[in-house]
């Protein structure tokens, strides 16, 4: 492909997808000429697909030593720069978004999501590689994703990252300074990234979509300032403001404490989108009303984690009630169940998830505790060692909702496990040694296992392990003792 053909294909794509105004065509061609260090353009006959053009562009960039970074980030960064030449400026993106918002909130988010895909910021082509399936668990339905696009993080590493004072620019992957940033050796390219400014609780936030897109329209709402995650009244105010603004979306927050929090604790952010998670579909058992909060209905959710579902038509009252539950929980201990609210540090917090249901506001408050012990150094209410072969990472917001994001290594390992089950060998691949006790159980449980059904059985059993991991994360277990404990806590409200 000649440089002119690459450029021609890129601008054609930009126009077709509505990213590039025909009035800006020549300008974009000239920007791309400079990017490729070419000085003249001749309109070619052939136009190629965006994938072909991008690959040829990266090839040209490498050949001319224009990509600079020389690691995995370099191709993405250079691609981002190519696509950026086709995109409107951030202020124009914001203008279009709010023009669409006048039509309806959904029109605005529909447009921005499609824009983020067309801008190749949300990499749907890569997300298609993820292994995605559903499992009917023993008690609940589960969504499983084996993530083939992101490395596994150790909770201790995440905790360590929180201690390290960031000194680079942008300070983190979420910071607003990523918008249009070319990238570095350690920081991924964000030249084709655009964010939408929002006011929540009178404070400045930005809306973007997640490049990893774990579920439909997976969005991130990030604070203007790079400041650590917090959990207090403001959390509930910001979430309800967002739900008022975008009633078709859910929005939740990771807990602010290590182990029970998400992978980024250093920058205040929320995650949401348009997806009906297993938790949202889970039934309720015992329900409660409160004299001090007449407009609140609460119920215990049939879920392995300890989730209190709170519903109200009043935005103010639900914020007040959720804040009240959080404050009560922060100081609540039940030593008979191993729940200790604080010692030198605070251990109790919540993972809140907000949504609209028939116009009302609803929060699922998952009660969390991040204490560790000598027996469970990574967390008492965290995946226990016997399940680490499947899931060792934090049980964050997305997992609380019933969607397992499992490490990519499992793809290869499950295939080796399948072969081991079908044709047991003493020469065992080291990568599946950790799975052996589990494989023994699977084999005993499934005498019907054969060539045809082995893969499906293993995938289902992975889901059942995830269900047990969620139980580990529950502070009030789903047995008589645990249920009574949960009710004792609710009675203090
Ligand atoms: Zn940041």
In a domain, 445, yes or no: no
**Cα separation values, 312 from 34, 297, 317, 404, Å:** 57, 6, 7, 29
Cα 170 to ligand 1 centroid, rounded to whole Å: 7
pLDDT number for residue 168: 79
Cα 342 to ligand 1 centroid, rounded to whole Å: 28
Stretch 109-119: mean pLDDT: 98
Which of 48, 66, 86 finishes a domain? Answer: 86
Same domain for 257 and 332? Answer: yes
In a domain, 420, yes or no: no
Same domain for 50 and 150? Answer: no
Cα 177 to ligand 1 centroid, rounded to whole Å: 8
Q: In this structure, what CATH number is given to the domain that contains residue 149?
A: 3.30.428
Stretch 326-354: mean pLDDT: 97
Cα 258 to ligand 1 centroid, rounded to whole Å: 17
Cα 203 to ligand 1 centroid, rounded to whole Å: 16
pLDDT digits (tens, 9 = 90+) for 203-253: 999 999 999 899 999 999 999 999 999 999 999 999 999 999 999 999 999
Q: What percent of the chain clears pLDDT 70, i.e. is strictly above it?
A: 96
Same domain for 363 and 271? Answer: yes
- 477 pLDDT exceeds 50? yes
pLDDT number for residue 164: 46
Same domain for 9 and 139? Answer: no
Same domain for 49 and 145? Answer: no
Cα 267 to ligand 1 centroid, rounded to whole Å: 5
Cα 173 to the center of its chain, rounded Å: 13
Please choose, from the candidates 312, 211, 204, 326, the residue with its C-alpha nearest in 3D space to the C-alpha of residue 268. 204
Cα 149 to ligand 1 centroid, rounded to whole Å: 22
Cα 210 to ligand 1 centroid, rounded to whole Å: 15
Which of 86, 118, 142 finishes a domain? Answer: 86
pLDDT class of 72 with cuts at 50, 70, 90? low
Domain with 74 in it: 3-86
Cα 253 to ligand 1 centroid, rounded to whole Å: 16
Please choose, from the candidates 363, 345, 360, 439, the residue with its C-alpha nearest in 3D space to the C-alpha of residue 400. 363
Cα 28 to ligand 1 centroid, rounded to whole Å: 31
pLDDT number for residue 187: 82
Same domain for 60 and 200? Answer: no
Cα 271 to ligand 1 centroid, rounded to whole Å: 15
CA–CA dist 119, 335 (Å, integer): 53
Stretch 71-89: mean pLDDT: 91
Cα 339 to ligand 1 centroid, rounded to whole Å: 32
pLDDT class of 82 with cuts at 50, 70, 90? very high
pLDDT class of 68 with cuts at 50, 70, 90? confident
Cα 206 to ligand 1 centroid, rounded to whole Å: 12
Same domain for 73 and 137? Answer: no
In a domain, 418, yes or no: no
pLDDT digits (tens, 9 = 90+) for 137-168: 999 999 999 998 765 555 665 565 555 444 57
pLDDT number for residue 486: 98
In a domain, 263, yes or no: yes
Tell me how many helices (H) and strands (E) the chain has. 16, 13
pLDDT digits (tens, 9 = 90+) for 382-430: 999 999 999 998 999 999 999 999 999 999 999 999 999 999 999 999 9
pLDDT number for residue 295: 98
Same domain for 142 and 9? Answer: no
In a domain, 74, yes or no: yes
Same domain for 301 and 387? Answer: yes
In a domain, 443, yes or no: no
In a domain, 228, yes or no: yes
pTM of the model: 0.94
Question: Residues 254, 393: contact at Cβ < 8 Å?
Answer: no
Q: In the beta sheet, which residues pair with residue 360?
A: 357
pLDDT digits (tens, 9 = 90+) for 1-35: 999 999 999 999 999 999 999 999 999 999 999 99
pLDDT class of 262 with cuts at 50, 70, 90? confident
Which of 86, 105, 140 finishes a domain? Answer: 86
The structural domain count of the chain equals 2
Cα 336 to ligand 1 centroid, rounded to whole Å: 40
Cα 123 to ligand 1 centroid, rounded to whole Å: 22
Cα 171 to ligand 1 centroid, rounded to whole Å: 5
pLDDT digits (tens, 9 = 90+) for 208-220: 999 989 999 999 9
In a domain, 160, yes or no: no
Same domain for 243 and 390? Answer: yes
Same domain for 34 and 142? Answer: no
Same domain for 144 and 50? Answer: no
Provide the mean pLDDT of the chain.
94
Question: Residues 400, 353: contact at Cβ < 8 Å?
Answer: yes
How many CB atoms sit inside 10 A of residue 239's CB?
Answer: 28
Cα 207 to ligand 1 centroid, rounded to whole Å: 14
């Amino acid at each position: 492909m000649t440089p002119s053909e690459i450029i021609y294909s890129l601008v054609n794509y930009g126009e077709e997808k509505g990213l590039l105004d025909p009035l800006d065509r020549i300008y974009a061609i000239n920007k791309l000429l400079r990017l490729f260090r070419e000085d003249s353009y001749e309109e070619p006959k052939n136009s190629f697909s965006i994938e072909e053009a991008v690959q040829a562009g990266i090839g040209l960039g490498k050949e001319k030593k224009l990509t600079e970074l020389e690691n995995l980030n370099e191709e993405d960064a250079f691609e981002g720069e190519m696509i950026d030449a086709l995109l409107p400026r951030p202020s124009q993106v914001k203008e279009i978004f709010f023009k669409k918002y006048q039509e309806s909130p959904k029109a605005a988010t529909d447009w921005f999501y499609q824009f983020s895909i067309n801008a190749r910021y949300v990499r749907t082509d890569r997300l298609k590689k993820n292994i995605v399936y559903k499992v009917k668990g023993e008690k609940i339905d589960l969504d499983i994703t084996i993530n083939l696009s992101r490395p596994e993080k150790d909770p201790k590493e995440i905790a360590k990252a929180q201690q390290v004072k960031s000194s680079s620019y942008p300070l983190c992957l979420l910071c607003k300074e990523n918008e249009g940033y070319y990238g570095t050796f350690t920081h991924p390219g964000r030249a084709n990234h655009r964010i939408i400014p929002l006011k929540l609780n009178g404070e400045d936030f930005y809306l973007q979509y997640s490049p990893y897109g774990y579920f439909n329209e997976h969005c991130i709402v990030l604070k203007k300032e790079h400041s650590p995650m917090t959990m207090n009244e403001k959390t509930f105010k910001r979430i309800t403001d967002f739900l008022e603004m975008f009633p078709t979306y859910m929005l939740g927050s990771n807990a602010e404490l290590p182990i029970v929090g998400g992978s980024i604790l250093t920058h205040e952010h929320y995650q949401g989108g348009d997806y009906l998670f297993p938790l949202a579909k889970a039934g309720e058992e015992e329900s409660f009303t409160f004299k001090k909060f007449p407009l609140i209905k609460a119920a215990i959710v049939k879920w392995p984690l300890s989730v209190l579902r709170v519903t109200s038509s009043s935005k103010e009252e639900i914020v007040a009630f959720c804040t009240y539950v959080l404050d009560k929980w922060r100081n609540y201990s039940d030593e008979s169940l191993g729940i200790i609210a604080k010692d030198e540090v605070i251990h109790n917090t919540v993972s809140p998830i907000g949504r609209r249901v028939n116009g009302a506001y609803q929060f699922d408050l998952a009660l969390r505790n991040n204490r560790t012990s000598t027996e469970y150094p990574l967390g008492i209410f965290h995946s226990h060692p016997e399940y680490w072969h499947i899931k060792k990472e934090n049980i964050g917001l997305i997992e609380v909702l019933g969607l397992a994001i499992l490490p990519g290594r499992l793809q290869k390992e499950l295939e080796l496990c399948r072969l081991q089950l079908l044709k047991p060998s003493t020469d065992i691949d080291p990568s599946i040694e950790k799975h052996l006790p589990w494989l023994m159980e699977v084999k005993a449980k499934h005498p019907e296992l054969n060539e045809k059904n082995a893969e499906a059985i293993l995938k289902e059993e992975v889901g059942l392990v995830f269900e047990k991991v969620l139980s580990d994360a529950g502070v009030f277990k789903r047995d008589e003792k645990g249920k009574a404990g949960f009710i004792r806590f609710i009675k203090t409200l």
